[in-house]
Each structure stands twice: as structure tokens, then as C-alpha cells.
Structure 1
Amino acid sequence: MEYKDRVKAARKHARLTQVELAKAVGIDQASISDLERGRSGRSSYNASIAKACGVSALWLEKGAGEMLDASSGEASNVATIDQPSFRYPVISWVAAGAWAEAVEPFPPGFSDRYEVSDYDSKGAAFWLEVKGDSMTSPVGTSITEGMMILVDTEADATSGKLVVAKLADSNEATFKKLVEDGGRRFLKPLNPAYPVEMCAEGCRIVGVVVRAMMKL
């Protein structure tokens, strides 16, 4: 059995579609398709593919040993499917700002760091590490410096949501609460010590913050 056949067999074993496996690993569906058709050689995501499918990484990589090793097994595989986790890249604030204009925001090899979440994104999603204390609030919701936020670029950006936006005069993204008043949109920090900014012409909402966690 060739590598491409093992990838397909692993995915079938896990009862995952190419799209589902790609999301779990943090790559696009075309990459999985290329692997299964033999258009791509060994994948640098081999260990992640094996884990997502509940098979032995050594078997997947070299065809050595059994498809299921002692530490995976059928039971753990079922748990993985019942409680899916999705892998998203960790990117810089400059890259997040550039996303708004990019034709292909996440090219192959875009990030060398990934974090997982139980959130199944509607569109392309990524993690950002929070900088500064503009979203640190003395009461209620507070997102402190160093926390990780997950941004879904296709989630509905409605008033009251925490969003990542790009202002016309900045090359970096900014993290604020979206507020609409009188037909105008504003970006409001949770920390009252910082000013509210207008999201006027040229301001783009990159995505909605759907998860926040302390950095591991």
C-alpha cells in the first residue's frame, strides 16, 4: 500500500470527509485530495493526520507496523469524532490586517504554529495573541494581554460583537467591540481609558472573535 492509499484508508477508517479531515489538521481540502491522489509526497502534517484519524503515525508515514497502535484504538477514535477539535493557524497582527486585501490569505506554509479549538468555523479562521490592555475591562467581559483569540472571518459581525478590524490608515489589525449608533459603526475598547474609534470609509471588519483562551 502506497502512502496515498494509506492516507485515504486512514480517513475512511475515521469516517471523515476530505473537508472534515482538512479542518481538523489545519490545511485545505485540496491538500488532502493531492495526498490521496499521489500528487503530493509525504506531508509535514503526517502526525496531525494520523492523530485526527486515530491511526499510527509510523504506519501512515512508512507503512510499518499496524494501522492502529496500542495507544489509539477504536475507542479513542470514536471519541475524537464525537468531540471534534479544529486546528487553526496563529498569525501576526500585520498578517491579520493584510487578510482584508489578500487574494489568498492562507497560502501553503503560511504559519508554523497552530492551536486547536472545539469551534467549527464558518470560514477561514485564525488565532491572534492579544497585545496591550485596551480590551481589559474593570467589569464584565475582559480580554487581557497575552490571551489568545480565535477569529472567524465569515461569522456575522453585528453590533455588540467583539471583532478584529483594519482601519484605513493602519497596516495592522485592531481588536475592539463593534457598536452601531445612528447608522454609523464604531470600534469601542472594553478599557474605558482608551478612545472609541469610528469605523468609517476604508475600515474593514476582518472577522468576529468567537473564542478566547489563556495562552498555554
Structure 2
Amino acid sequence: MKIGTTVRAARKAKGMTLEQLAHEIGTDAGNLSRFERGLQGAGQDVLERMLSILNIQISSEELDESNVGAAMAVRGQVPLISWIQAGCWSEVSDIYAVGDAEQWLPCPVSHGPRTYALRVRGLSMYNPAERHSFNDGDIIFVDPDRAAIHRSLIVAKLTDTQEATFKQLLIEGDQRFLMALNPSWPNRIFPINGNAEICGVAIAKHEPLI
């Protein structure tokens, strides 16, 4: 049984919106939407409340198998999105509402539920002499719920553009700066304060071997 499909059909039959059902079961509409599409599992308590509200009858064995299967299907998978999408992250309640992901990738480290992946553009963060270096086309994993600290590698949106930029954050007292890792990059370090919004902290790099 595809429990997500069953839940969606039962919800629509009752005339309930995603938001209404999510409120009733104690989750958010984004989580519920992903569950209905088979992209995310649900906790036992949440799933049981959902089935009760929708009057869906399944056996305890089916309940366990459906829930575990959905959870395992997306463990570690995050969406690869565009720089435009990353730049408008703060303007949407759920990254999946921005549009379909280019593809889904396994994140190699522990990450928050809203983590996404981006393909690096340009060579501003390229410095092969240092520990961290990012070439054009490399893929990074970005966690918007991770706190940005001094020397964090971050994705930020500047107020004068709708797109994001990938740089290293430098904090000196009350001042914040963005720095390109490429030592030859023009205007390598520039100050930011109210003119930039952090869209997430880079937590890993995807390096396929094939």
C-alpha cells in the first residue's frame, strides 16, 4: 500500500486542505505534502492521528511497514536546487514549494530537515592550496537551520540581487564580511550588515567518483 497516496485521497474526499490536516495532526503542511508524495516518513503518533482523523483502516503490520518504508526511502536525500531558488529561500515556508528539484542527492553528513544542495557557479571559492576549495560545477550541501559563525562557509542573499552568493563569513566584533576563498578574486572581501541575509551554512561537498 502506498500510504501517502491513500492519505491524500482520503483528505481530499473530506474536503480538507494540507494546512487543515497538518494543524489537526500536529505537523506542518510541508511535512504532510512530502509524506503524501512518498518523500518523507512520519512518526508513529502522527501517522496514527492522521489515519484516525481520515477514518483510514489498516492493520498494525501495514502501519509499521508503510511508515518505515517511507522513512527509509528519503533518509539522507536532499534536493538539488538553483541559485534563484536559494536566494528566495526566506520568502517561502517550504523549499519544495519553490519548484521541483533538479534531482535528489544523498547528504554525507548529519543535516537538518530543510537542507538543500547547490551547484557552485564560478571560481570565487576556488583555492586548491587550502583545505576547502570549490570549483565551478561542484555541489555543496547547505543547511539553513545551522547557525553561521566566524569562518562559516555560507550562502547569502544580497538585497540588490534576487540570487544567492557563496562565500566565507568573517566576523570581527560588530562587523561582518564576506570573503572569496580565491586569493586572486577581485574585491575579495566586502562588508555586509543589513544588506545581506544568510540562506544557510555549507556543511558538505558532493564529490562523485564517476
- 1:35-91 deviation digits (Å, cap 9, x = unpaired): 4xxxxxxx5x58x98xxxxxxxxxxxxxxxxx9xxxxxxxxx9xx97xx94111111
CA contact (8 A) 1:85 1:118 kept: no
| 2:179 corresponds to | 188
Amino acid at match of 1:157: A
2:112 paired residue number: 122
1:80-119 CA-partner distances (Å, limit 9, x unpaired):
97xx941111111011001122244322853241111233
Q: 1:69-84, aligned counterparts within 5 Å?
A: none
Normalised to the residue count of structure 2, the TM-score between the two structures is 0.63
Contact map agreement 2:80 2:117 (CA 8 A) in 1: yes
Give 1:29's aligned amino acid.
N
> Hey, which bits of structure 1, 4+ residues long, moved more than 4 A?
5-8
* Equivalent residue, structure 2, for 1:133: 123
User: Is residue 127–residue 149 contact of structure 1 (8 Å, CA) maintained in 2?
Assistant: yes
Verify the 8 A CA contact 2:154 2:199 in the aligned structure 1: yes
Deviation, structure 1 residue 183: 1.3
**Alpha-carbon contact 1:123-1:155 (below 8 Å) kept:** no
Deviates more, 1:163-172 or 1:193-202: 193-202
CA contact (8 A) 1:150 1:209 kept: yes
Shift of 1:6: 10
Decide whether aligned partners of structure 1 residues 111 and 32 sit closer, same or farther in structure 2, where only a CA change above 3 A counts.
closer
**Cα displacement (A) at 1:144:** 1.2
**Would the aligned equivalents of 2:81 and 2:102 in 1 still touch at CA under 8 Å?**
no
User: Structure 1 residues 85 and 160 mapped into 2: Cα distance closer, same or farther (>3 Å)?
Assistant: same
Q: What residue in structure 2 maps to residue 13 of structure 1? A: none
Judge conservation of contact 1:96–1:173 (CA < 8 Å) in 2: yes
Percent identity (aligned): 28
SS in 1 for 2:85: helix
Shift of 1:180: 0.6
TM-score by length of 1: 0.62
Residues 180 and 89 (structure 1), Cα distance of their counterparts in 2 relative to 1, 3 Å cut: same
Of 192, 195, 206, the match for 1:202:
195
| Equivalent residue, structure 2, for 1:18 | none
Mark the runs of 5 or more structure 1 residues left unpaired by the alignment. 9-26, 36-42, 50-66, 68-76
Per the TM alignment, residue 31 of structure 1 is displaced from its structure 2 partner at its CA by 3.5
Aligned partners of 1:104 and 1:6: how far apart in 2? 20
Matched residues, number: 157
The DSSP-based 3-state class of the residue aligned with 2:95 is coil
1:110 pairs with 2:96: no
